[in-house]
Structure 1
């Protein structure tokens, strides 16, 4: 099979949750002998920062990313900085597509990430070429709470139009959970079968927690974290629901100021860039985007936090915590769409009760270890990108093969 995947911006190497899903869902196709070529409509901030202006990236044998770095594609993303969806992506492709039509014509199957580019893809593929809509969130939910001047109703209506067409006119849909599949069936009239492929982690990330590793010790020393402090980790990119969760983490930290034994809060990733550093308590550290010693930051933590209050889809960060055997405290919203048992795989608490939940875990190391181990086993059994990719590939062959 020759698969053409279409993404709204550069994906590889994956840095944010959406990038990991885009890459993870096709990761095993080349392993099984298929070919994957990904069209990326414009670059990413990380790519430009690193001055990586390559137009083609060979990821592995049979797996290539092609990047259309056109100024138009960068301009239309500007509203996303204000929290708006990428509503103009399909229109921009009609003006600048740089070989996408040829890629669509050569494909046995087209996989479209999110609804923003899907209208163009549906209009430029033949009836013989299946189009699979790959959903990362129920976008009408994700953007349903936009409160920007003048554009509320217009944005919501446009998101609904794009998502409706993507769900109803595609030949199959991939979504992150049974819950999202149910919402699509209730809200729209799906044009094809729905494949549930949950968010996950990479098999290579599954491991035991190593709090006494050299890397963990170095991380604590780097951020001047006392060796006796209990470290609570929150990880995220600079994305509105993550910023909201990071601000909630800081509020929890303020309520625990002066707690003994000491609790230190480590906010990892670009989400920290959205916080006012001058107003943070001394026992809160932001790291910015982490590339070096990434795994050591997990080892330096004792507890992982998932204080999510909004957003769509399922939380990839939750599975990343599980993979590293970290015990997690999550809001009920943060565990949506993931088959967990409370007090076995994680602790669930409303955000107001996070301080008490942290204290209970801090004071019970045996419970922390048991929850972390159970969570890692759950991730290994049900939530890896490799397993999701194989499932998607098998279903595409069942539905549309042979190729």
Structure 2
């Protein structure tokens, strides 16, 4: 069984509940049926640990680097909030970081190296110097995303370094995965890449994990949004609180996840902020929601919450940005709404229960047919084996 070492900034959690952790865990959990998989992740904890998910799937969670405080002092005026940890990893790569020691140890017994992000490229000091295949399993076009959502002007001074890292990774990797056809084309255009080495590995779902949904509304309609503490998600929550809640007084808005954090002091009678929720609670929320909303106005890659909402059979209202890369049809698979008419669409359609149920069934069938983690991992396995057959 070939051994794969996967490099990523953030650790997964079990069971995974949001965004990147869902992709990070489920793809490699499925691939562990074909390969021996080791994840190498970074944490903020003072102690590292190894978690064994199965006999062929484990994760090394490296402890916070001893140089962390020193490097943070150097860059603390250059970024804040979301951008800071990303810039920290770019900077730490210039030092004898602890993560490099973990990498070197695990590298020796690995056959394939997969990068989940360009931020850690310079920790792989054998890159383009050995015969081991390198794969970039992108969650996003990271440079394009950073250029779009990094707001701090000092932080934006690091964008050329990120561009250089992603350009080098995509140019010299043996295989690249994009989450959507649109991002695949962006990679080809921005980095002048050979289209034949860029494949699709969209985000996915486990169709069998959802609880049975409540078919008939019990009282006021409940609209669900869930998301991590991530700028596009907090932008969506602000829109829900400042715009939708007042314009849709007959709908209760349920918001879950780390995206609630900046808004805990705000009070609205028809908005409930739950904060982070455990997986069992998340499944219950999905079963009890009458509709799902996804007012995303920025971001990259395929939106995992869209996949989950639809796979669970919840009627979805979303912007085009929120359904990017999924080939969904308005009023067949979901209801399309943008900032200027989102409230109107909610008020118009949320009480049309039969129509909403028809849309939910079509959306669920489309997603569950084309976006299961098992089928995505099987395709990745076939692509990787092609590398070794040449």
TM-score, normalising length: structure 1: 0.86
Q: Does 1:396 find its partner at 2:367?
A: no
Match in the other structure for 1:210: 214
Distance in 2 of aligned mates of 1:80 and 1:105: 36
Does the 8 Å contact 1:307/1:334 carry over to 2? yes
Q: Any unmatched runs of 5+ in structure 2?
A: none
What SS does the aligned partner of 1:351 have? Answer: coil
In the TM superposition, what is the alpha-carbon distance from 1:11 to its structure 2 partner? Answer: 1.2
Decide whether aligned partners of structure 1 residues 390 and 54 sit closer, same or farther in structure 2, where only a CA change above 3 A counts: same
Is 7-16 or 356-365 further displaced after alignment?
7-16
In the TM superposition, what is the alpha-carbon distance from 1:296 to its structure 2 partner? Answer: 1.1
What SS does the aligned partner of 2:29 have? Answer: coil
Distance in 2 of aligned mates of 1:377 and 1:22: 24
Does the 8 Å contact 2:264/2:273 carry over to 1? no
C-alpha distance after superposition, 1:138-182 (max 9, x if no partner): 122211142314343x22212211211111121111110111110
Decide whether aligned partners of structure 1 residues 59 and 72 sit closer, same or farther in structure 2, where only a CA change above 3 A counts: same
Decide whether aligned partners of structure 1 residues 208 and 339 sit closer, same or farther in structure 2, where only a CA change above 3 A counts: farther
In the TM superposition, what is the alpha-carbon distance from 1:256 to its structure 2 partner? Answer: 2.4
Q: Does 1:17 find its partner at 2:19?
A: yes
Does the 8 Å contact 2:128/2:172 carry over to 1? no
Distance in 1 of aligned mates of 2:323 and 2:6: 29
Give matches, 1:76-95, under 5 Å: 79=79, 81-84=81-84, 86-89=86-89, 91-93=91-93, 94-95=96-97
Q: How many matched pairs?
A: 376
Q: Tell me which of 54, 58, 67 is aligned to 1:64.
A: 58
Match in the other structure for 1:281: 268
Say what the alpha-carbon RMSD is for the aligned residues. Answer: 2.4
Q: Tell me which of 171, 174, 177 is aligned to 2:174.
A: 171
Distance in 2 of aligned mates of 1:380 and 1:207: 15
In the TM superposition, what is the alpha-carbon distance from 1:7 to its structure 2 partner? Answer: 1.2
Q: Tell me which of 69, 91, 102 is aligned to 2:105.
A: 102
Does the 8 Å contact 2:212/2:287 carry over to 1? no
In the TM superposition, what is the alpha-carbon distance from 1:351 to its structure 2 partner? Answer: 1.6
Is 357-366 or 311-320 further displaced after alignment?
357-366
Decide whether aligned partners of structure 1 residues 124 and 161 sit closer, same or farther in structure 2, where only a CA change above 3 A counts: closer
Q: Any unmatched runs of 5+ in structure 1?
A: 217-226
Match in the other structure for 2:238: 247
Q: Does 1:265 find its partner at 2:265?
A: no
What SS does the aligned partner of 2:363 have? Answer: helix
In the TM superposition, what is the alpha-carbon distance from 1:251 to its structure 2 partner? Answer: 2.5
